[in-house]
Structure 1
């Protein structure tokens, strides 16, 4: 988190909502200014600016007008296409690729969520989505003893996390490689269950904890030229 010169936390600007991001992205694709969109849609410039910069509840009729003004669909502005693989919206017009320092990689992974563990199995390499969290500089996930994800124990694996912003054509990815171990100490397992519980989306009893010790961590971010990299430091 960034701070003021006096050491006090500096509040970050609010992120736009999905509709606002998509409106801004489509407007820039068409080479239109906010003033031009406002005039064509019969709206105020202040409203377009607010919509593009802050989360906002947008009336269905307003979304319909904006979709017509921007030559796109209501479904697109509302986040349609979520059942398709990500990345189909394409990159930004002038993408910039940056290498992430290890500290930046950890900052992006820190909130936890869903990542992918890649491992070798008797049937060949597999990549599996798992709910994870970061603790003490390691990656933790829980599974069942009979699962494929549990066969990572004792092996060197890769673990990947990423995020894509379809509206802006930007994103980042982080890759961790290292050995995976089972957390066996009863006290540690009990503590993890109480304090570090990534709850698997698939549900059920999952009492095997796997810890990935990072031997190497790398990452890359893609942003549009002329924009400032986001401050993702917690």
Structure 2
């Protein structure tokens, strides 16, 4: 049986309906065109487009080249790691820890994503994942009034966003700290709706916007010498 890190033909076959979506998303995360990835993977752009947009069943040789081109693993591309926490990669031999500037932190926050909001409920700390949206100086998310993330309103809260690259044992994290409030102004609500790229992954019924006014944004990055350059922020 093939090592799960490199994948196997049967693993590819079982999850091939997700392969195109995962490959396209990873390519966009890296800021690469199909032509650039195809050249890295020694394939034609037309075939890469077919893999991204159709139900394809590539052989393991192509999968290994594609994973290398996308700076990831076959296991990641076929969804073998979706139920595992990030950080399974081994620590690199000589990592370098860098402090990110405020501008670099905002670049990594980009326009939207998934972060973790830290709040206090009944005098105890609690952390919830949220789909956040960046609108000018505000960082906001939608929730239900009775849901845990709604407890952020009226508090100084922390929002943490990170990205882990298991393939190269590197990554970054950004911490946003500031007061949060329930958005009640209709113009501000409309502006946030216009900026929102996605609804809450958890489902409908979450229409209350909570906005954070950052008064401190800090971040760190773990870089491994010799690894690929970090991914570009994408809209």
Normalised by the length of structure 2, the TM-score is 0.68
Q: Verify the 8 A CA contact 2:179 2:213 in the aligned structure 1.
A: yes
**51, 54, 58: which one pairs with 2:41?**
51
**C-alpha distance 154-109 of structure 1, shift in aligned 2 (>3 A):** same
The correspondence of residues 186-225 of structure 1 with structure 2, limited to 5 A, is 186-196=186-196, 198-225=198-225
Aligned 8 A contact 1:115 1:162 in 2:
yes
Report the equivalent of 1:170: 170
- Residue matched to 2:133: 133
Alpha-carbon distance in structure 1 between the residues aligned to 2:101 and 2:74: 39
* 1:96 Cα deviation after fit: 1.2
Q: CA deviation at 1:212?
A: 0.6
Offset of 1:228 from its aligned partner? 7.0
TM-score, normalising length: structure 1: 0.68
Q: Could you report, residue by residue, the CA deviation over 1:90-124 in whole angstroms, capped at 9, with x for unpaired residues?
A: 23332111000000000000131110000111061
CA contact (8 A) 1:141 1:210 kept: yes
- Partner deviation per Cα, 1:38-73 (whole Å, 9 max, x = no partner): xxxxxxxxx9x8229x9955822426888xxxxxx9
CA distance in structure 2 between the partners assigned to 1:216 and 1:64 by the alignment = 42
Distance in 2 separating the partners of 1:149 and 1:161: 15
Distance, in Å, in 1 between the alignment partners of 2:139 and 2:63 is 44
Q: Is the 8 A contact 2:163 2:172 kept in 1?
A: yes
Shift of residue 211, structure 1, vs aligned partner: 0.7
- Report the CA distance shift for 1:140/1:64 in structure 2 as closer, same or farther (over 3 A): closer
In structure 1, list runs of 5 or more residues that go unmatched: 1-11, 21-46, 67-72
Name the count of aligned residue pairs.
187
| Residue 220 to residue 122, structure 1, CA distance change in 2 (3 Å) | same
Larger radius of gyration: 1
